[in-house]
Structure 1
Amino acid sequence: MIIQLDKNISEKNKKAITDKMSSLKFKPTEVLTQKGDYLIGTGKADFDIRDLGQMAGIQDIHMVSDDYQLVSRKWKVDYTTIDLGDGVKVGANDFAIMAGPCSIESEEQIVKVIDHLKANNVKIMRGGVYKPRSSPYSFRGLGIDGLKLWHQHAKAAGIKIITEVMQVSQIAEMYDYIDMYQVGARNTQNFNLLDELGKVDKPVLIKRGISGTIEELLYSAEYVFSGGNERLLLCERGIRTYEKASRNTMDLNAIPILKEKTHLPIIADPSHGIGIRHHVEPITLASIMAGADGVIFETHEIPEKAYSDGQQTLNFRESDNMIARIRKTLELRESF
């Protein structure tokens, strides 16, 4: 059960509502976000919803059977749009293209990627300054100094930044230099990190776990929402299966299923989803036709010289061509 409270509800009325919920054998939990004040009721008892709905201080009430209540589409029919400022939005009627290298490597690289994005009217740049690598001997990013340098150039160019946060201590130090936090596949169930991201007023993109289910991804988003941050996006990036022909198995099924289950924007990551450069484009276009609200992919001037994930990274010419086809595919989708 989700109860939306009036903006200026009195403490007396709020207590009366929580007492009534308890009497109906529902445990009340208050969730205060950037956009509203909610009471989440967990319980199984049957009751007449009018017993609660008519009480003073209640704006609306919804019965939601899913355990992930706040991210469920059962109470919020309209899809959520995430506003990054300066006219850059993601979700509903605002399809987003996010592109950039796997790792931020140097100032020269930053400038070249930004120039490439500007030439294609792409407003969001991805890149890693803290890199979770399978081998401890691989390049692991330039850290906060690299982020500050990246932010300086991106801000001057009107480009928004999305980058991965790996631990709680990085949230505050990154805050002034990013527009969107990314929770990587290895941290999707790092609940301490998710709890802390619920306390910040910046969008958070959560990637599906390496072997995670759709339900587990929704639970991860519920952690952040229930912590107070409802500016959330979900990302399908492929899952680990027994198949060895590709890096991961891109679960295109997940996109329409998530669109049915949640009001949050759904982003597709074809680079990690298949992990093979010349197959990234068809998976991208298929993701769009499956209903994705945006794509996030890797591009580098010379992928063969990239510090990480060169095998799945498009060069600038390939990226130019794919962005043009993305826009043609969107036109086709909108004509249906």
Structure 2
Amino acid sequence: MIVVMKVGSPEAEIARLTEEFVSWGLSPEKIVGKHKVVIGLVGETVAMDPLQIQEASAWIEQVLRVEQPFKRASREYRNGEASEVAIPTPNGVVYIGEHHPIVTVAGPCSVENEEMIIETARRVKAAGAQFLRGGAFKPRTSPYAFQGHGESALGLLAAAREATGLGIITELMDASDLEPLAEIADVIQIGARNMQNFSLLKKVGAQDKPILLKRGMAATIEDWLMAAEYILAAGNPNVILCERGIRTFDRQYARNTLDLSAIPVLRTLTHLPIMIDPSHGTGRAEYVPSMAMASIAAGTDSLMIEVHPNPKKALSDGPQSLTPDAFDQLMRDLAIVGKPLGRWTEQRQPVGV
């Protein structure tokens, strides 16, 4: 349930109501919107009469039931308003959300060595990226494929951040690596293969770093939102949803099927920000630009693009990685789509903190 307070409701009355809801055995959560305050109620509310709740205060405007199984992730839970994720970086706070300019994340699939990651970081920042992506721990289909350099690669990501001021996004695979990874990462990525690793979702939900939750390869949208609910229910409100392609019938021409229809569907169902990864979504570098532009037209809040200085020699995902020059051109092309939609600001910037 959500309790919508009237405009101008006193803080003392909101605090009193919150205490009263706790005494009823509920878990209230105060949500401050643009114009009103909403109190979300989680718990055994099925048998509760909304009219009885409304009578608890003259400052209550209305009481509504949240019909979706994903309560906190539901757009209803915020009274129809979108949320945003504010991420502190060395270059300042970056906001990802429906009412902010597109945020671009770029970098290699895996951190290979210091020279490579710093060179890539400098190039993608100069082109306009705000975050560097790079895998220290890599989940691979084959046990014989390159699995990443592990904890030592985290130090290389830290060096790249020091050199450029970019925020860092990297993937967590095992809860035992959470502490060292969280010291380096500005955003913790939960990959497609771990989307329904519920014990891991609870762990990242219990800490305060923002979470990038990638959609599982065979996950429905409801599966995905229920996974986000685990993180939100554990106390972390900063979740970004990333569509990265799903498995369908035809894998001959593209690695996955990039589900851009998920963008308008998610807009109706959830308040959470949306990111699109056209690199994994297609698996082919030549398809990435058109899918990235289509993503902006469809309404994404952010893009994740794989970039490598020499894709042919990449230790992982070379075929879907753009060269730095190609990424530079892509950013210019994306501006052509994003500016008329009011979702693009000049992002090209000199390297240096």
- Whether these two folds match at TM > 0.5 is yes
Distance 2:57 2:320 in 1: 56
Equivalent position SS for 1:87: strand
1:17 equivalent among 14, 17, 21: 21
Distance 2:30 2:174 in 1: 24
Alpha-carbon spacing, 1:73–1:11, altered in 2? closer, same or farther (3 Å): closer
Alpha-carbon spacing, 1:14–1:255, altered in 2? closer, same or farther (3 Å): closer
Instruction: Give the residue type in structure 1 aligned to 2:210.
Output: P
Distance 2:175 2:265 in 1: 31
Instruction: Give the residue type in structure 1 aligned to 2:160.
Output: H
What's the CA shift string for 1:153-185, capped at 9, x where partnerless? 313421000011011111112111110000100
2:307 equivalent among 299, 305, 314: 299
Matched, 1:210 2:212: no
Distance 1:240 1:247 in 2: 8
1:242 equivalent among 236, 249, 258: 249
Instruction: Give the residue type in structure 2 aligned to 1:119.
Output: A
Distance 2:155 2:30 in 1: 31
| Partners of 1:102 and 1:128 within 8 A in 2 | yes
Unaligned runs of 5+ in 2: 344-353
Partner of 1:267 in structure 2? 275
Partner of 1:191 in structure 2? 198
What's the CA shift string for 1:115-150, capped at 9, x where partnerless? 102211311011100000011111111111211221
What's the CA shift string for 1:64-95, capped at 9, x where partnerless? 11110111111322211211121322112231
How far residue 200 of structure 1 moved from its aligned partner, in angstroms, is 0.8
Partner of 1:102 in structure 2? 109
| Partners of 2:127 and 2:327 within 8 A in 1 | no
| Partners of 1:72 and 1:261 within 8 A in 2 | yes
Distance 2:41 2:58 in 1: 11
Alpha-carbon spacing, 1:194–1:303, altered in 2? closer, same or farther (3 Å): same
1:313 equivalent among 318, 321, 336: 321
RMSD over equivalenced CA pairs, Å: 2.8
Partner of 2:83 in structure 1? 80
Partner of 1:25 in structure 2? none
2:72 equivalent among 61, 64, 70: 70
Alpha-carbon spacing, 1:46–1:55, altered in 2? closer, same or farther (3 Å): closer
> Equivalences for 1:157-236 in 2 at 5 Å?
157-236=164-243
Alpha-carbon spacing, 1:37–1:164, altered in 2? closer, same or farther (3 Å): farther
How many residues are matched?
328
* TM-score, normalised with respect to structure 1: 0.89
Instruction: Give the residue type in structure 1 aligned to 2:96.
Output: V
* TM-score, normalised with respect to structure 2: 0.85
How far residue 231 of structure 1 moved from its aligned partner, in angstroms, is 0.5
Equivalent position SS for 1:317: helix
Equivalent position SS for 1:205: strand
1:113 equivalent among 120, 138, 143: 120
How far residue 299 of structure 1 moved from its aligned partner, in angstroms, is 0.4
How far residue 220 of structure 1 moved from its aligned partner, in angstroms, is 0.6
- Larger CA deviation: 239-248 vs 185-194: 239-248
Equivalent position SS for 1:108: helix
| Partners of 1:4 and 1:39 within 8 A in 2 | no
Equivalent position SS for 2:295: helix
| Partners of 1:208 and 1:234 within 8 A in 2 | yes
Instruction: Give the residue type in structure 2 aligned to 1:283.
Output: M
- Larger CA deviation: 84-93 vs 249-258: 84-93
How far residue 297 of structure 1 moved from its aligned partner, in angstroms, is 1.1
Distance 2:171 2:273 in 1: 18
Instruction: Give the residue type in structure 1 aligned to 2:53.
Output: L
Alpha-carbon spacing, 1:266–1:12, altered in 2? closer, same or farther (3 Å): closer
Instruction: Give the residue type in structure 1 aligned to 2:54.
Output: G
Instruction: Give the residue type in structure 2 aligned to 1:143.
Output: G
Percent identity (aligned): 36
Equivalent position SS for 2:341: helix
Matched, 1:332 2:340: yes
Distance 2:162 2:30 in 1: 31
Partner of 1:153 in structure 2? 160
- Larger CA deviation: 147-156 vs 170-179: 147-156
Matched, 1:128 2:135: yes
Partner of 1:282 in structure 2? 290
Partner of 2:42 in structure 1? 40
Equivalent position SS for 1:334: coil
| Partners of 2:85 and 2:210 within 8 A in 1 | yes
